Structure 1
């Protein structure tokens, strides 16, 4: 008896994965440059978001983690001091990809205690 697996890789999954990985990379580079608190929170949110793409029962779900990651990326843009060349580009690309992913999944954002 053979075990069969079917892997479905669609466009929203690829967009979410690239956006989440760019958010992790952005947070790690900002952590090395010294903005610690926001970078640590961004690492936690973005890693949980990437994991939620692969694991079914991550608390709060992928859409809410995407919203938190987008908010952290926006805060990093606002509170970033001097950034290296191209540093803001990774942040902006990650924000755009995550917003596109949220639009593609149809706005099914469930916030526990608010609309769930």
Structure 2
């Protein structure tokens, strides 16, 4: 008993049977990036796109550049910042003193000390 399925005999996720007859691939050009460990990474990009300056190396994770003789250096790791460090970036010492004085005045007023 025929099922009438047009996709009988193919598996899920498979591509077209003859892709060259149905579409023409976009023009591409290969671009090679080099990391500090001299790992080459070749990426195919569209012909009308300017290549990015850096590309992460899939082998070591470091950034790679277009110049094999002068690859970009290792990125600098930012240290962990606490909440207080972020607050100190946003506020000066004078602002902090003013906010503290205001909070203490409100607290003393609620307690009836003033």
TM-score, normalised by the number of residues in structure 2: 0.23
**Which structure ranks higher in relative contact order (CA pairs < 8 Å, sequence separation ≥ 6)?**
1
Relative to its length, the structure with more strand (as a share) is: 2
Computing the radius of gyration from Cα coordinates, the structure with the larger value is 2
Relative to its length, the structure with more helix (as a share) is: 1
TM-score, normalised by the number of residues in structure 1: 0.22
